[in-house]
């Protein structure tokens, strides 16, 4: 695409437009940015340099004006800046504040990976989390984790096991933590565990179990949401959940949970439902890993979900 200064030169060469040129450039040389730039670089510029830079100055003023008026520019999303190049004035383009903010948001969104999570987690915010007396402890623990983790991300930090009744904000708080971490440059994977269990069972037919398991267990920060909400099979317990937690314990990777069940009930009412005699032992071993990975924090309060 031909830029503005090249178009101007071509037009001027093809037409005897001296009077019009003078009028155009008078407007350019009155531009505040141009005046300031020339004054700032007087030691590098003489009249010949300024005259030879006329097309670039015209490009700058024209594109800047389009940008200010909300019109389509030569480089959408970028704004012109005057620079010195080989003793002449040139134009460089840099992302606008809006472009920078948009790219930053996209980058943050890429740092938060979700598997079957509700849409609300994408917009969850610590500042919007309702700070009533029944939930302030959970928020305090969340803030302490973020502070400690970001101060020393290579050190092991125990995550949180948020439990409580339906609709008290457990999932929202996990999402708010994940979004804050994403904003600060850290990647998190959030997994709705009951849905993931179904996905893993279906993956057997496509021979894709190992890949899905690897992606989750190796997440820099992992959040298992709504664990205990479904009935767990021996295979999901032993070949999926146990494998994930064993790896994360060995690698000391931050891990979070949310559940309607306390840790004690997760062990007795969820992980020990199998009739096989070894079920209690396997449940106990899994819970050892859960307790190593996360600190139990109760959340109570009214159901905030819409009826």
Classify domain 109-298 by CATH number: 3.40.50.300
Q: Residue 260: what pLDDT?
A: 95
Query: By mean pLDDT, which of 133-137, 153-157, 270-274 is the weakest?
Result: 270-274
3-state SS of the chain? CCCHHHHHHHHHHHCCCHHHHHHHHHHHHCCHHHHHHHHHCCCCCCHHHHHHCHHHHHHHHHHHHHHHCCCCCCCCCEEEEEEEECCEEEEEEEECHHHHHHHHHHHHHHHEEEECCCCHHHHCCCCCCCCCCCCHHHHHHHHHHHHHHHHCCCCCCCEEEEECCCCCCHHHHHHHHHHHHHHCCCCEEEEEHHHHHHHHHHHCCCCCHHHHHHHHHCCCCEEEECCCCCCCCHHHHHHHHHHHHHHHHHHCCCEEEEECCCHHHHHHHHCCCCCCCCHHHHHHHHHHHHHHHEEEEECCCCCCCCC
Task: State residue 132's pLDDT score.
Answer: 83
Mean pLDDT, all residues of the chain? 89
Q: How much is the average pLDDT of 113-140?
A: 91
Query: Could you tell me if residue 50 is left (phi over 0), alpha (psi between -120 and 50 degrees) or otherwise beta?
Result: alpha
83-102 pLDDT per residue, tens: 999 989 999 999 989 988 88
Cβ-based neighbour number of residue 190 at 10 Å? 26
Distances (CA, A) of 114 to 118, 165, 196: 9, 23, 11
Nearest to 181 by CA among 219, 150, 223: 150
How many Å separate Cα 288 from the centre of its chain? 32
Indicate if the pLDDT at residue 13 is higher than 90: no
Give the pLDDT confidence of 169-186 residue by residue, as tens digits: 999 999 999 999 999 999
pLDDT-derived band of residue 5, with 50, 70 and 90 as boundaries?
A: low
Domain residue ranges in the chain: 4-95, 109-298
Q: What is the largest CA-CA distance in the chain?
A: 98
Give 235-264 pLDDT, tens digit per residue. Answer: 999 999 999 999 999 999 999 999 999 999
Output 293 or 17, whichever has higher pLDDT: 293
pTM higher than the cut 0.75: no
- The 10s digit of each residue's pLDDT in 52-71 is 999 999 999 999 999 999 99
Task: Indicate if the pLDDT at residue 307 is higher than 60.
Answer: no
């Amino acid at each position: 695409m031909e830029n503005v200064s090249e178009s101007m030169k071509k037009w001027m060469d093809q037409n005897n437009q001296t009077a019009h040129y003078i009028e155009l450039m008078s407007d350019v040389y009155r531009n505040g940015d141009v005046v300031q730039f020339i004054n700032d670089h007087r030691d590098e510029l003489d009249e010949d340099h300024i005259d030879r830079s006329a097309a670039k100055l015209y490009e700058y003023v024209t594109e800047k004006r389009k940008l200010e008026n909300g019109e389509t520019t030569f480089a959408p999303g970028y704004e012109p800046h005057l620079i010195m190049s080989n003793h002449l004035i040139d134009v460089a383009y840099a992302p606008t504040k809006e472009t920078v903010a948009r790219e930053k948001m996209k980058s943050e969104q890429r740092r938060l990976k979700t598997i079957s999570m509700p849409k609300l987690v994408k917009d969850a915010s610590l500042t919007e989390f309702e700070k009533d007396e029944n939930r302030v402890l959970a928020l305090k623990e969340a803030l302490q984790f973020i502070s400690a983790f970001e101060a020393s991300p290579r050190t092991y930090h125990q995550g949180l096991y948020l439990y409580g009744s339906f609709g008290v904000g457990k999932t929202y708080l996990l999402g708010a933590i994940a979004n804050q971490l994403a904003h600060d440059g850290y990647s998190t994977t959030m997994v709705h565990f009951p849905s993931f269990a179904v996905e893993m069972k279906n993956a057997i037919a496509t021979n894709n179990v190992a890949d899905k398991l690897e992606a989750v267990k190796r997440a820099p920060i992992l959040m298992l949401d709504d664990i205990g909400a479904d009935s767990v099979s021996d295979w999901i317990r032993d070949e999926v959940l146990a494998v994930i937690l064993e790896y994360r314990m060995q690698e000391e990777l931050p891990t979070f949970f949310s559940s309607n069940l306390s840790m004690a009930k997760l062990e007795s009412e969820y992980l020990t439902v199998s009739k096989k005699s070894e079920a209690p032992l396997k449940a106990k071993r899994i819970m050892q890993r859960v307790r190593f990975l996360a600190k139990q924090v109760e959340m109570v309060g009214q159901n905030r979900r819409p009826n």
